[in-house]
Structures are given as structure tokens and as C-alpha cells.
Amino acid sequence: QSGSSFHVFDQGQFAKEVLPKYFKHNNMASFVRQLNMYGFRKVVHIEQGGLVKPEKDDTEFQHPYFIRGQEHLLENIKRKVTSVSSIKNEEVKVRQDNVTKLLTDIQVMKGKQESMDSKLIAMK
């Protein structure tokens, strides 16, 4: 192999024997979810057609910084954070824009109201 991925050849055995040694669970789906959180992706080969189940129980995962002999790259494998602060900042900006628009609309309405008041007085 090229050393740019790793294989799990027998998911049942891997979950039963390997996972409990390193994790507090023996659940393959949880392991895959954790891999995804750290940016690992399942490798799907064209001949499998994506939809066709491969005959052999072989699941392959890869990450751009997971390369044989390149240990110094491992520090770049970090858990993805859905930045709450960036979401919050976006929300705040949208809300500020909404408030600004409302205040502008109110000013326009006040102006129209004053104009109507003065016209009413003139008509009286």
C-alpha cells in the first residue's frame, strides 16, 4: 500500500478486540463518527460503484495528514470545531442589520406622520 490510508478488514473483530483497548466503547459506528470528526474520510473505490457492497469486509479511511513515515504531520489532525463564536457573530450581524433597518423604517414613518399632521392642520 501507499501508506496514505488504513484499512479495517474485519469490522466485527476490530470492534470487539481493538476498540475496547483504546476507547471506552466497542462500537464501530462511534469509531467512524470520531474519525469523521477529525477529518478522516472513507475511501470509496470506483469499482464498488459506491452503492454496491464490496464482497470483502474491507473499509479504508484516509486523511491528508495521515501518511506513513510522516509523523510530524499528525499534529495537524485536529478535531473539527463548529465554531460557535463564528455562528454567534453571524447571528449578531444579521440582528444588528435588522435593527438598523427597523430604526430606518421608523424614522421614515415618523417623517411621513409629521408631514400628514402638518397637512391636516393646513386643511383645518
Name the amino acid, one letter, at 27.
N
pLDDT tens digits, one per residue of 75-123: 999 998 766 666 677 777 777 788 888 888 889 899 899 899 999 999 9
Closest C-alpha among 41, 54, 46, 56 to residue 6: 41
Q: 11 and 58 share a domain?
A: yes
The answer on 85 and 98 residing in a single domain is yes
Q: Is residue 57 pLDDT above 90, yes or no?
A: no
Q: Do 29 and 56 reside in the same domain of the chain?
A: yes
The per-residue pLDDT for range 1-20, each reduced to its tens digit, is 578 999 999 999 999 999 99
Domain that holds residue 112: 81-123
- How far is the C-alpha of 96 from the C-alpha of 122, rounded, in Å? 39
Residue 110 identity = K
Examine the domain organization and report whether 55 and 91 are in the same domain.
no
Does one domain contain both 65 and 31? yes
pTM of the model: 0.58
Same domain as 89, residue 75: no
C-alpha cell at 1: 500500500
Strand 5-8's sheet: what is its strand order?
5-8, 59-62, 41-42
Do residues 68 and 4 lie in contact, with contact meaning Cβ atoms separated by under 8 Å? yes
* Same domain? 50 vs 108: no
